[in-house]
Amino acid sequence: MTSQRYRPLFKLDAGGMAEVYVAEAESMAGFKKKVAIKRILPGLIKDQRFVRMFLDEARLSLRLAHANIVSVFDIGESDSTYFIVMDFVHGINMKTLLEHQVKRGGPMPVALTVFILNEVLKGLSYAHRLTDSETGRPLGIIHRDISPPNILISWNGEIKLTDFGLAKATTQLESTDPGVVKGKYSYLSPEAARAEEIDARADLYAAGILGFEMLTGRRLFRGKNDYETIALVRAGEVPSIRQYNPNVPEDLEQVLFRALHKDISQRYQTADDFAEALLGFLFTHRLKVSARDLIDFCRPVREEQEAERRQAETKAQQERSPGGNNLIINLINEEMLHFRSLGQEEKKEASAGAQPVVAIGEPKALDPSQPLDVDVFTPAPGGVTPNRLGLSPTPTEPLPDKNEPSLVDQLGLSKDDRPKTSPDNKLPKRPPPGNRTIPPDPRTARPPEPTNKGEGGSAWIIVLLLLLVGGGVVAFLVLT
């Protein structure tokens, strides 16, 4: 993956911890597509805990592959921040749709609300049941932040969950401290507001809150401040939906009441159970609804959004530098030039075909067709040097004792008196290994006994000739 694969186009959204840019991704084959890139604000890079949470979200999102979940296909870093690269959903989020519906002066249609909830539950069901591909164990994923901003609606009528930044899974590196409340307060479950241990049923409670707000056009839990909001969530008092919207059938109200039950054991136990109840309602009332209905319903919003986009493009052109470039986009683009996928260096080393390192003392596998790879110049312990053919080891020749004087030194010869080696004075060739004999050590070998004791008499004359070349002196020593 090259550093120039992603080219930022414009900023899509921003928050207190990260911002999202729309970029153009170009493959090696030259194909281009738009992607969304979430970028950690540089000021938060020093917060290692937040960085770990961000990378947890990225790693977890890479495991998710479902039509109702935004796909994440790359995690990257630059010299100053981290990135998550995901599919760009061309559309709006649920928050924008609800705000637009308030302007219209009424709640959302019943059938369309049920359709959207069912699509959300499809994505949740997949995430809740996801297992590890290697061990087969459940990952235990809980989104923990099912709220209008995290429900994306494409212009093609698709519903997708995004932002698993607060999701909890058994494989996450960053765990939640006891007593810490995560998620938007208005969409917490009562047990989450009490900082108790939660499970997948907390996501189902949040989906029930979404259904209540879509059908009534008002917030379920909203206090004057965060403290009051959490107090309302803990109380768990849910007013009648029909008093705000008489068009809601009673059996649909009962379906949502069960999802919003304060007692966790009385709620739907799985996302599939909740979805089955919603589909049963549609079947009972013979209601037909599909993505085409959602497309038609969102068309006025799309026209309004496109008008706003044209205004934003005009404003961006006015903010361009004299050279014709947007300064902010240029800075982000410069960052993206140094973009590198996490783990890219390790992959390069693995693909380079590096030879494995054999630990010292670790035996190598022997190839019978090849000679042993033994260093014959390194004496083995015990004075034995193995040979390359794998034959029996041959004792090494003893090395002279450095402290013992040589024969020349014993005779008192100077350096000039020592015999010169002629060019023809070559060492004899070493016999083949099979016929090789070991010469006796002159220091330890015993002299041979005479074969005939009669020859030479009982007296041996040993003459030692000392020739002193420099002085011309000859000395004879006769021993009887």
Which residue intervals of 323-380 are DSSP H helices? 327-337, 344-351
CB 162 within 8 A of CB 146: no
For 14, list phi and psi in degrees, rounded to 5. -150, 150
The residue whose two tokens read 């090789």 is 436
CB 267 within 8 A of CB 258: yes
Nearest one of 259, 260, 278 to 268, comparing CA atoms = 259
CA 144/CA 142 separation, integer angstroms: 6
Nearest one of 199, 219, 200 to 209, comparing CA atoms = 219
For the residues of 176-226, what is the DSSP string, one character each?
PPTT---S-GGG--HHHHTT----THHHHHHHHHHHHHHHHSS-SS--SSH
CA 210/CA 222 separation, integer angstroms: 13
The tokens for 193 are 């507001």
| CA–CA–CA angle 373, 376, 378 (5° rounding) | 110
What residues contact 252, with CB distance under 8 A and at least 6 apart? 110, 114, 215, 281
Q: Is 310 exposed, middle or buried (0-12, 13-18, 19+ CB in 10 A)?
A: exposed
Q: How far separated are the first and last CA of the chain, in Å rounded?
A: 96
Report, as residue numbers or ranges, the catalytic residues. Answer: 145
| CA–CA–CA angle 260, 266, 268 (5° rounding) | 70
